[in-house]
Amino acid sequence: MELAIAQETIARWQFGVTTVYHFLFVPLSIGLGGIVAGLETAWVRTGKEKYFHATKFWGKLLLINLALGVVTGIFQEFQFGMNWSSYSRFVGDVFGAPLAMEALVAFFFESVFIGLWIFGWNRLPKKIHLATIWIVTIGSLLSAYFILAANSFMQHPVGYRIDPANGKARLTDIWRVLFQDTTLVQVFHTLTAAFITGAAFVMGISAYHLWRAKRGKDTNRKRIAAMRSSLKLALVVCTVAGILTALSGDRLAKVMFEQQPMKMAAAEALWDTQAPAPFSIFSVGDVNKGRNDVALEVPGALSFLAKSDFHSAVPGINNRADEQVKLFGGTRADYIPNIFMTYWGFRLMIFFGMTSFTIGLVGLYLTRKKFWVRPRFRTGEDEPPNLMITDKIRMNDFFTKWSWRIIALTLGFPLLANSFGWIFTEMGRQPWVVFHLMKTANAVSPNVGVGTQVGSLVALSVVYAILAVVEGGLMVKYSKPGPDVDERPPTKDPTLRMSPDDQDKPLSIAY
């Protein structure tokens, strides 16, 4: 018994560590990939060098990040079999399908076309080269979609029946698995959040360079132009994606109130049914007694979040736990997820995500141009944008200085929001691995020793930690100097077959 508990705990830690780590790179790759594709499109359409320099600059950072995102994904696929073989046997028939589709439909695209994008700059005609980065981006979106469809099945199993002969889940309707509301809302929420992540990253680094330019530490006009366009695009992306993330988050919460009410009750530390139910801003709870000692609340707001009105009753943790005890046996405590992690995970996700969105929105207002600013205040393409309070008044130096710093310092906030979001959504589902079908404790591999597990957790953590330091260092090294503005864009469309004169020239891109 004790051994089983240890196995489950270590397997969960390993899943948590490797998944959160993997998911640091994935959203950034998706968001940044989209921005790079957008910039290259601008370059191909307008022929302006600044877009080319920006494309190359963010492209380099994208590749550093993508490398780790891709390789850490391999373990995600393997560990279902390694640590969770009972789970794999039980749901492989259903869960395996979207996973295999991810490889065949999405991952192949990404991996093959990223090679073409990196090394194809002087080999492919411009438009075909542009198509490759779009295919990579679309591939990564599809990839996320299939993985989230698989995850949604664990959150809310549909399109299956239990085979009476062997007790295993059998797929009955692939369309329901791929297109159930949980999948669609979750995909939308996760992908829009990925775009905030990419945008905040671009905003932060562009702001750093523009602030340097503002202080006269960088006078290269081409570099300023590239960073200026990057900042503007990122501010727009951040604002739009922020609005969509908030809307889809609200929708997702409503779906969760229906499908996993315990998770949402836990997210609110709402112990007992209340009508109207208040939204908790801050609370200190006592799990043993099943109540909060300190609570700061907005009356009625939770009713609104769950049911779109200000008076409906929202059942609490204790009530939900009682229901599950009736259905599945055991004690109340068996069905209460980790309240501290779910409550704070939920809040921190919202806090970090909304902070970046707000910065994007405010930034878009402060750097506005063309529509609202009188011509005399408009800055040139190669000047750092002014920060304006109204169309007449510029921000004073003190606030300007802090505005740029805040953007630069918050570039990683969405990464935290993403991590807390996943921790919340996965821990809030406990003790179920497949909701109301299989408990996490029954999902582990029965034949893998605790020693092996500990060894692998340590080995993975060490390797992942080293790579995090390496990647962080490279990101800093490559973002600090800004775009290489001496690089000449390919002037004419290169043909696939080189002319004999070109045969002996050095490769334009080589490792």
Q: Which of residues 379-438 bind another protein (CB under 8 A)?
A: none
Q: Name residues contacting another protein, limited to 231-290 (CB under 8 A).
A: none
Closer residue to another protein (CB): 1 or 507:
507
- Binding piece for another protein, criterion CB under 8 A, among 261-269, 359-367, 384-392, 501-509: 501-509
Length of the chain: 511
Q: Report in angstroms how near the CB of residue 182 gets to another protein at its nearest.
A: 20
Q: Name residues contacting another protein, limited to 326-365 (CB under 8 A).
A: none
Closer residue to another protein (CB): 329 or 506:
506
Q: Name residues contacting another protein, limited to 446-465 (CB under 8 A).
A: 446-448, 452, 456, 459-460, 463
Long-range contacts of 105-109 (CB under 8 A, 24+ apart): 105/142, 105/146, 106/139, 106/140, 106/142, 106/143, 106/145, 106/146, 107/73, 107/139, 107/143, 108/139, 109/135, 109/136, 109/138, 109/139, 109/142
Q: Report in angstroms how near the CB of residue 431 gets to another protein at its nearest.
A: 21
Q: Report in angstroms how near the CB of residue 60 gets to another protein at its nearest.
A: 9
List beta partners, residue 282: 296
Closer residue to another protein (CB): 294 or 510:
510
DSSP 367-428: T--SSSS-GGGPPPTTSPPPPBSSSS-BPPHHHHHHHHHHHHHTTTHHHHHHHHHHHHHHHT
Closer residue to another protein (CB): 41 or 452:
452
For residue 131, report the phi and psi dihedrals to the nearest 5 degrees: -60, -35
For residue 245, report the phi and psi dihedrals to the nearest 5 degrees: -65, -40
Q: Report in angstroms how near the CB of residue 139 gets to another protein at its nearest.
A: 11
Q: Report in angstroms how near the CB of residue 111 gets to another protein at its nearest.
A: 4
Residue of 423, 410, 20, 28 whose CA lies nearest to 197: 28
Q: Name residues contacting another protein, limited to 162-201 (CB under 8 A).
A: 163, 170-172, 174
List beta partners, residue 432: 439
Binding mask 63-82 for another protein (x = CB under 8 A): xx--xx-xxxxxx-xx-xxx
Closer residue to another protein (CB): 292 or 479:
479
Q: Name residues contacting another protein, limited to 83-142 (CB under 8 A).
A: 83, 85-86, 88-89, 91-97, 99-105, 107-109, 111-116, 118-120, 123-124
Q: Report in angstroms how near the CB of residue 145 gets to another protein at its nearest.
A: 14
**In angstroms, rounded to a whole number, what is the distance separating the alpha carbons of residues 421 and 443?**
23
Closer residue to another protein (CB): 47 or 455:
455
- Binding piece for another protein, criterion CB under 8 A, among 295-303, 315-323, 336-344, 443-451: 443-451
**Token pair recorded at residue 69:** 């995102």
Q: Report in angstroms how near the CB of residue 222 gets to another protein at its nearest.
A: 22
First to last CA, the chain: 52
| Candidate residues 1, 294, 469, 507; the one interacting with another protein per rule CB under 8 A | 507
Closer residue to another protein (CB): 400 or 442:
442
Contact yes or no for 109/142 (Cβ under 8 A): yes
Q: Report in angstroms how near the CB of residue 334 gets to another protein at its nearest.
A: 25
Closer residue to another protein (CB): 73 or 384:
73
Q: Report in angstroms how near the CB of residue 166 gets to another protein at its nearest.
A: 10
44 interacts with another protein by CB under 8 A: no
Closer residue to another protein (CB): 141 or 287:
141
Closer residue to another protein (CB): 143 or 342:
143
Closer residue to another protein (CB): 96 or 412:
96
Q: Report in angstroms how near the CB of residue 440 gets to another protein at its nearest.
A: 16
**In angstroms, rounded to a whole number, what is the distance separating the alpha carbons of residues 144 and 187?**
8
Q: Report in angstroms how near the CB of residue 310 gets to another protein at its nearest.
A: 45
Contact yes or no for 100/14 (Cβ under 8 A): no
Q: Report in angstroms how near the CB of residue 33 gets to another protein at its nearest.
A: 15
Residues in contact with another protein, total (CB under 8 A)? 77
DSSP 448-505: S-HHHHHHHHHHHHHHHHHHHHHHHHHHHHHHTT---TTPPPP-SPPPSSPPGGGGGS
Any residues with CB less than 8 A from the CB of 8 and at least 6 apart, and which?
440, 441, 444
Q: Name residues contacting another protein, limited to 467-486 (CB under 8 A).
A: 467, 470, 474, 477-478
DSSP 28-85: HHHHHHHHHHHHHHHHHHH--HHHHHHHHHHHHHHHHHHHHHHHHHHHHHHHHHHH-H
DSSP 256-308: HHHH-HHHHHHHHT--S-BSSPPEEEEEEEETTTTEEEEEEEETTHHHHHHHS
**In angstroms, rounded to a whole number, what is the distance separating the alpha carbons of residues 175 and 371?**
46
Closer residue to another protein (CB): 287 or 468:
468
